[in-house]
């Protein structure tokens, strides 16, 4: 007999409610399989169902993933969850670094706690250890690669973070009661082994895809980014755990009928695949729970009809340094003018990259590239139209980035990092809030001095705008995006 929250979860499975996708999984005792609540298979009897908050917990209980609804495609949990912020930050780090061999002690160090405390928090939140969660991340990524790509089994094992093919085969068979090669034979979607890698990343609907593309298109840096045929494309320049630079490109499309973003990755980026996927999730805000956001921001529509649109996402970024420099260049000038300056910077000091996509030609300059410029930074950036003050701010940012003085990831403590940013000469409240919003993915940033915000809320004074925005917490970043889109 189901009780309390379990009855709600079973009802969600019966309705195939997308709002619950990724928030829990259901293990079915009669089949030994665990599913997403949106699974299209026949609804199991209530007495055969056991509910789990993570895929790792379901696998710990002995269930294997459904081949129909594919739990590896389920969206992740939202950034804002006051009951388990630490654990959510840890899951992000583990997902992104499942190939790099990052230890639990190192994860705890990044989060500012002890490994013992992290294990205790993980167990309390999910009833699994961080190591078990990491193991499930690797297995589900491998399952995704086996199903949707033509990569060899050994390439799949290495890309997913397994140290050896034997270890991968043994664990896959133990957990899923199926050999990796057998799963590959069952898949009708596997592509040629020589093709690029295309995977699916799930999200909770609705998703205002065109709205996101329009936002990114207006700010796209020529040579680095492009919007073409309803897809987002960009160059990638990352460093592997072995300190080797890898270059390539990525393309992101949309399948609204299945609530999935398709991510096609240049095969040269296989050694950094988990990092690429993590950055795409951040850029396109795939952890968002749109219904929770809209419940708070729906009151915006009393200001203007349709001011807040359900499914509006917070545009993140793929590269934190690139975004930070772009924010500095955009101070007190138009978006178009800032894009022009960024384009000149890329053409002069970006890294040329050969791709099969003609509009993608350069990677954005790295902080090391900026620091390595000889002589005064003014002499290099001044001829590009960048003022002396902004040139020096960009150099300071690059130095802070290399020293790791500021944490730009979604695991950062934004209030602390904003103070660090504002200590850099040339970075004020607007720039710091904008960087926190897009680079750190902070959902509650609010650049109240922004021209677009003031224009959308005219004739209110600055104090009135700040007071009004208090009702939009903790989603003020989403409110800001809606205000910008209204213009």
- The CATH number assigned to the domain holding 415 equals 1.10.340.30
* Per-residue confidence in pLDDT tens, the chain, 487 aa: 677 788 889 998 998 988 889 889 999 999 999 999 999 999 999 999 999 989 999 999 999 999 999 999 999 765 444 335 677 778 888 888 877 767 888 888 887 788 898 888 888 888 889 989 999 999 999 999 999 888 999 999 999 989 899 999 999 999 999 999 988 877 655 555 556 899 999 999 999 999 999 999 999 999 999 999 999 999 999 998 788 999 999 999 999 999 999 999 999 999 999 999 999 999 999 999 999 999 999 999 999 999 999 999 999 999 999 999 999 999 989 999 999 999 999 999 999 999 989 999 999 999 999 999 999 999 999 999 999 999 999 999 999 999 999 988 765 678 899 999 999 999 999 999 999 999 999 999 999 999 999 999 999 999 999 999 999 999 999 999 999 999 9
Same domain, 347 and 457: yes
Calpha distance 69→31 (Å, rounded): 14
Residue 414: predicted pLDDT: 86
Residue 83: predicted pLDDT: 37
Q: Which CATH number characterizes residue 142's domain?
A: 1.10.10.60
Same domain, 110 and 61: no
User: Annotated catalytic residue: which of 155, 369, 405, 450?
Assistant: 450
Same domain, 337 and 466: yes
Q: How far is CA 130 from CA 63, 90, 91, 116, 133, in A?
A: 18, 8, 8, 11, 5
Which DSSP string corresponds to 1-53? ---THHHHHHHHHHHT-GGGBTTBEEEETTTTEEE-TT--SPPPPGGGEEEES
119 assigned to some structural domain: yes
Helix ranges, 288-334 (H): 290-297, 320-329
Same domain, 16 and 104: no
Pick the last residue of a domain from 160, 186, 212.
186
Residue 94: predicted pLDDT: 85
414 assigned to some structural domain: yes
Q: How many domains does the chain have?
A: 3
Same domain, 435 and 334: yes
User: Annotated catalytic residue: which of 13, 35, 308, 317?
Assistant: 35
275 assigned to some structural domain: no
Name the token pair of 416.
């602390």
Pick the last residue of a domain from 171, 186, 201.
186
Residue 255: predicted pLDDT: 97
Same domain, 326 and 464: yes
Same domain, 38 and 95: no
Same domain, 48 and 165: no
Q: Judge contact between 202 and 73, C-beta under 8 A.
A: yes
249 assigned to some structural domain: no
Domain hosting residue 394, numbered range: 320-485
Same domain, 40 and 131: no
Q: Judge contact between 305 and 284, C-beta under 8 A.
A: no
205 assigned to some structural domain: no
Residue 82: predicted pLDDT: 35
Annotated active-site residue 21? The verdict is no
Give the angle subtended at the CA of 279 by the CAs of 274 and 282, to the nearest 5°.
130
Residue 277: predicted pLDDT: 95
Residue 68: predicted pLDDT: 92
Query: Dihedral of CA 319/322/328/333: which sign?
Result: negative
Residue 366: predicted pLDDT: 96
364 assigned to some structural domain: yes
Pick the last residue of a domain from 137, 153, 186.
186
Residue 193: predicted pLDDT: 53
Same domain, 418 and 346: yes
Annotated active-site residue 450? The verdict is yes
Query: Dihedral of CA 28/31/35/41: which sign?
Result: negative
Residue 412: predicted pLDDT: 65
Residue 187: predicted pLDDT: 66
């Amino acid at each position: 007999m189901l009780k309390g929250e379990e009855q709600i979860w079973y009802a969600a499975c019966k309705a195939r409610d997308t709002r619950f996708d990724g928030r829990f999984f259901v293990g079915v005792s009669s089949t030994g399989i665990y599913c997403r609540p949106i699974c299209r298979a026949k609804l199991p009897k209530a007495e055969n169902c056991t509910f789990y908050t993570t895929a790792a917990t379901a696998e710990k209980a002995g269930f294997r993933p459904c081949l129909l609804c594919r739990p590896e495609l389920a969206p992740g949990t939202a950034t804002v969850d006051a009951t388990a912020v630490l654990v959510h930050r840890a899951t992000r780090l583990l997902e992104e670094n499942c190939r790099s061999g990052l230890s639990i002690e190192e994860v705890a160090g990044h989060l500012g706690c002890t490994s013992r405390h992290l294990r205790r928090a993980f167990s309390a939140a999910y009833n699994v250890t961080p190591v078990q969660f990491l193991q499930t991340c690797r297995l589900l990524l491998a399952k995704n690669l086996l199903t949707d790509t033509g990569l060899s089994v050994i390439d799949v094992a290495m890309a997913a973070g397994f140290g050896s093919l034997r270890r991968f085969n043994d664990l896959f068979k133990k957990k899923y009661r199926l050999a990796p090669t057998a799963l590959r034979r069952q898949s009708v979607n596997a592509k040629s082994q020589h093709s690029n890698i295309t995977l699916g990343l799930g999200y909770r609907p609705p998703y205002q895809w065109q709205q996101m593309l329009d936002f990114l298109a207006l700010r796209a840096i020529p040579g680095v980014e492009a919007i073409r045929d309803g897809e987002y494309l960009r160059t990638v320049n990352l460093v592997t755990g072995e300190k080797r630079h890898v270059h390539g490109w990525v393309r992101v499309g949309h399948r609204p009928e299945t609530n999935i973003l398709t991510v096609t990755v240049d095969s040269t980026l296989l050694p950094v695949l988990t990092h690429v996927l993590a950055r795409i999730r951040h850029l396109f805000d795939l952890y968002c729970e749109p219904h929770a956001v809209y419940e708070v921001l729906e009151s915006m529509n009393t200001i203007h009809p349709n001011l807040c649109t359900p499914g509006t996402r917070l545009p993140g970024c793929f590269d934190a340094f690139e975004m930070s420099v772009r924010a500095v260049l955009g101070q007190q000038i138009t978006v178009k003018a800032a894009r022009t300056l960024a384009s000149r910077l890329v053409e002069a000091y970006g890294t040329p990259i050969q791709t099969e996509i003609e509009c993608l030609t350069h990677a954005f300059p790295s902080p090391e590239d900026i620091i390595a410029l000889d002589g005064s930074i003014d002499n290099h950036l001044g001829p590009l139209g960048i003022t002396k003050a902004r040139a020096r701010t960009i150099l300071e940012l690059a130095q802070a980035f290399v020293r790791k003085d500021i944490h730009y990831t979604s695991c950062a403590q934004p209030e602390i990092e904003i103070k660090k940013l504002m200590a850099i000469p040339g970075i004020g409240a607007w720039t710091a809030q904008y960087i926190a919003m897009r680079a750190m993915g902070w959902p509650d940033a609010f650049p109240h001095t922004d021209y677009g915000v003031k224009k959308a809320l005219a004739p209110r004074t600055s104090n009135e705008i700040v007071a009004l925005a208090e009702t939009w917490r903790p989603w003020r970043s989403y409110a800001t995006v809606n205000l910008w889109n209204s213009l």
